[in-house]
Structure 1
Amino acid sequence: MDDAEELYENAPCAYVSLHPSGYILRANQTLVDWLGYSKEELAGKAFHDILSAPGRIFYETHFAPLLRMQVFFDEVALDLSDASGTTMPVLANAREVRDADGAPLSVRIALFRARQRRQYERELLEARRAAEKAREELATLNASLEERVENAVQKRIKLEQGLWYEKQTAKLREQFVAVLGHDLRNPLASIRSGAEILARDPVPEKREKVVTLMRSSIARMSSLIDDMLDLAASRLGKGMAVEMKRVELGPVIQQVVDEVVAGRDEARVETQIDLPDPIECDEGRIGQLVSNLVGNAIDHGSEGEAVRVVSACRNGVLTIRVTNAGGPIPPDVRVRLFQPFSRAEVRAHQKGLGLGLFIASEIARAHKGKLEVESDEKETTFLFSMPQTAPQTVP
């Protein structure tokens, strides 16, 4: 055996030559030793017969067609099956030998053991999967940690806000009690003084004037007490009591506006009321809502500018808009505008418990409506809206 033959037979890789039909023409001794077949047993076998089951499928669907198309390929992973049925991972390099006319003559294949390489690749793949899993777990942990930190921060913020609001509420309660005591004491003092005057001065003209003042004081006290009762009912969860019936609401709104303006010498209110049909509501409560909104608009609007009251019923929705000129409502005031114990800065001559807007919003809610506010640099509008049901026609 010359050197070339010896190198072919005992090369560190396996050589195999195939007929174009895929049968083995010749194999070197290295392949014989790997597989445990004799050369005679290998000769004439189909190449796919020495492959594992997955390798046969791959050979038929990829290996042979690819070789026929491009004449060669390198480093294709295959699994050989030896005489005992044990698989052996290999890498295959193949070349197709063709004649001058391009017709295939044979296929030459070099096979290299790849067990350690496959094991290394598997270890790399497992390491990659482990790394991806660890990265996913870390991402989940980070997300969970961020969420927990965010929740803790939000809870801390809410707690601090709650403490701040609690302090403000306590302060407002003190102010509320002080204002309540002051506002009730004044009309009581007026009534007592009037009673003393009546007792010692029987002049009819003066008596009539004193009685008028006493009635005004009594009305003032009654209004304060009604506000307190409404607040108590709301706080106890009873809600605002309403008695619904169909009424001519336009005259009610106009009368309420006239009453509010009558007690304020410099106030001007322009009304635009378009309510030709009866409205289903509690007319007393709606009057109270309008009175609170108009009084609030006069108190906080620009002096000398008229307050506008616009009311209509369109598409089954009653709306009442009360608009005053003036600067915007500050954001910190706006968020607590409809809460009890909450008052914006008012002018020195203004009095009250600061319950007007809260009670107005409760009246709106009792009518299954809502009270909203819009405020910008030019004007502020309070909008009350409530749905209306079509009246039942009696046959």
Structure 2
Amino acid sequence: MPAELFDNAACALAATAEDGTILQANARFGEWLGFSNAELCGRRFQDLLTMGGRIFHQTHLSPMLRMHGRITEVKLDMLHRDGHKVTVLLNGLKRERAGGTVYDLALFGTTDRDKYERELLNARNLAEALLQEKTATELALQQAQAELSEAYAIAQRRAMFAEQMVAIVSHDLKNPLTAIRMASDFLNRGERSAKERQLLGHIGQSSERAQRMIADLLDFTQARVGQGITIKAAPLDLHAVTHQAVDELRVAFPTALLEHHAIGSGAATLDADRVQQIIGNLVANSVAYGDLQRPISITSRLGDGQCEVSVHNHGAVIPETLLAGLFEPMTRGTEQGSDVRSVGLGLYIVRELARAHGGDVAVSSTAQAGTRFSVAFVRM
């Protein structure tokens, strides 16, 4: 190697005799160890090593160089002139020349490499820790999902059982209530005192209310447990059906002033009994929450391919926060009117009956205009 390249090399270079005596060293070698070139030449390479390095040199490096003629990237600790340790990577090559055997040594600093290896190790440890954390999280999530699925299945079974029991009990209550109504009607035909007629009136009203509650419960279980509420649509006069429903409701709610308004003309194909049930539930809701000093308006409207039934009342405004869930089962905006309400299923049944007809229900409530429930049907 030309002398200029040897002296200016980026790594430390040295040539030693077979016994380790340094014959030549470049400037980089001296800089790393704090010696001048003159101080290095004539010293043995192994004398510049730590005690452990010397032992390793004697037992491994020197024999390998003699036997194999080369060594590659052997990590060694050398001693600086001031005593601190300098770690290097040693590469060596055996070379024969006329004067004897020479070992060419090249030493590379390990500071950057050690830093890189430490960072690589830290990154690997961090990755392993994150993987373990991810695995533990996934296992916890799977366990939570399994527990949630099991709890949901149990809740579903309990809800199904409860709804089936409601359906069974509601159905079985119809017979004794029918008997009570028949007996009440029979007793009311004879001569009775004013007090007896009053009591019979209470019995009739209570049995009517109980029958409405049972009808709502049966429809609820049919919608939730069965295949949905069924209807039997047939051609009808919507105004006549509404008029009949209003007449019957005047008897059921004698304290309310019910007004029927008919708009438009023509026939529609709907289930008459279900339409009357819708009107009954909406009127019952208006009686429960409306101002009975002012009339409750029931409007039947026909025209433009649609037909509609709406019930309007004056009274307290329904809060905006309650409107979104107003048609869910077991929902009430207030306890007001609970003595004439059913079991909180009336508006839910209205919505399901509207949907069974291919329509839907809407509500608006303001202090100026009052509260209006509108059920729109598809006119067929």
TM-score (ref. length: structure 2): 0.49
TM-score (ref. length: structure 1): 0.48
